[in-house]
Amino acid sequence: QVQLVESGGGSVQAGGSLRLSCAVSGYGPTNYAMAWFRQAPGKEREGVAGVDINGRTTYTDSAKGRFTVSKDNAKNTLYLQMNSLEPEDTAMYYCAAVCEARDSNRGCIRFAYWGQGTQVTVSS
């Protein structure tokens, strides 16, 4: 049974930092795409950052320059270093693994496995 467990969320003041982790267990291959998503109350889920099977990283515009995504294949763990946090970053953050469907323009559009989420709250 594949499991994704996020950790590292919490409450910080604006300008602070957090590092999220997502540990994958129960999945044999070590090289696969992973990504971070977030969903704020009343808003749709949005992609934040991801790492594809070739190690290339992508970011949503609001994350560029502030967030860094990385993946340790040996540990089956995805990270998201978040700096200069803003109240607008407040959301539940989810990680996803193993791309099931891709779009030539948008990249991965469906992931096979999801975590339960970790809450990030940024106060002004």
pLDDT digits (tens, 9 = 90+) for 87-115: 999 999 999 999 999 888 878 889 999 99
Question: Does the pLDDT value for residue 57 go beyond 90?
Answer: yes
Q: Given a cut of 90, is residue 6 above it in pLDDT?
A: yes
For residue 79, count other CB atoms closer than 10 A to its CB: 20
Give the rounded percent of residues in the chain with a pLDDT score beyond 70: 100
pLDDT at 103: 87
Which amino acid is residue 122, in one-letter code?
V
Res. 119: pLDDT tops 90 = yes
Closest C-alpha to 92, from 114, 118, 122, 113: 118
> ∠ CA(46), CA(49), CA(54), 5° rounding?
130
Quote the pLDDT of residue 44: 96
**85 neighbors 15 (Cβ within 8 angstroms):** yes
